[in-house]
Amino acid sequence: MNVTQQSKQNVDSVLERLKADYGSVDIVEKTWERTEADYERIRDQFERGALGGAGVWLTNDTGEVLLVRNEGDKGWSDPGGKREPGESYEVAARRELEEETNVTCQLTGLCEVHIIENVHAERDAPSIFEPIVIFHGCHETGDPRPREGEIAEVGWFAEPPEAVLYEEVTTRPYPATV
């Protein structure tokens, strides 16, 4: 079995587990073109069993959503990042949230799963598929502050900001405006 087949099989296993735990799963499919260095990093993560990521669509008591703007990016997104080897997506989501924003949360459900097809931008290479699992969560503790050297800004939003890192940040519900 090649890396494309193996990575697809891994994604299918993750989806089966999430469906068993949460019921239905909203899937967003995307293709990301990768440079040589990024492609090799992703291939290495796949081989170490650490491919994939997780994030949290976090709300507070007033219905605002916590978003971050990474250093070097103009757009805002939900806090999240890569999974460590052997780490569950739930643990990765909570860890990344706390590392990036200084807040903790209770996960309350599954928001959506992005299935990313990583393709090499410069040469013919097998696609590598990975899931990015976004959970719904509610704020528990901590005052938001950005992680130095990684996150430029953290903020609560009652409606989508003008600049976002990806489309779903504008199309998900902002409970404060409902």
Average pLDDT, the chain: 95
Q: Looking at 23-164, list the stretches that DSSP marks H as alpha helix, in order from N- to C-terminal side.
A: 36-47, 89-101
Distance of CA 69 to the CA centre of its chain: 14
- The domain total for the chain is 1
Number of Cβ atoms within 10 Å of the Cβ of 158: 12
Half-sphere exposure for 150 (CA within 13 Å, toward CB) = 14
* Alpha carbons 144 and 118: distance in angstroms, whole number: 32
Residue 58 has pLDDT above 60, yes or no: yes
Q: What is the pTM of this model?
A: 0.94
Residue 153 has pLDDT above 90, yes or no: yes
Give the domain range for residue 105.
Answer: 3-177
What would the mean pLDDT of 86-92 be, rounded to a whole number?
95
What would the mean pLDDT of 18-30 be, rounded to a whole number?
96
Phi and psi based region of residue 14 (left: phi greater than 0; alpha: psi -120 to 50; beta: remaining) = alpha
Question: How does residue 178 score in pLDDT terms, banded at 50, 70 and 90?
Answer: low
CATH number, domain of 76, equals 3.90.79.10
What would the mean pLDDT of 6-27 be, rounded to a whole number?
96
Question: What pLDDT shows up at residue 1?
Answer: 83
* Residue (of 39, 32, 43) closest to 6 by Cα position: 43
* Alpha carbons 97 and 142: distance in angstroms, whole number: 11
Residue 142 has pLDDT above 60, yes or no: yes
Cβ atoms of 66 and 144 closer than 8 Å: yes
Cβ atoms of 112 and 34 closer than 8 Å: no
Cβ atoms of 129 and 116 closer than 8 Å: yes
* Alpha carbons 74 and 70: distance in angstroms, whole number: 8
Question: How does residue 50 score in pLDDT terms, banded at 50, 70 and 90?
Answer: confident
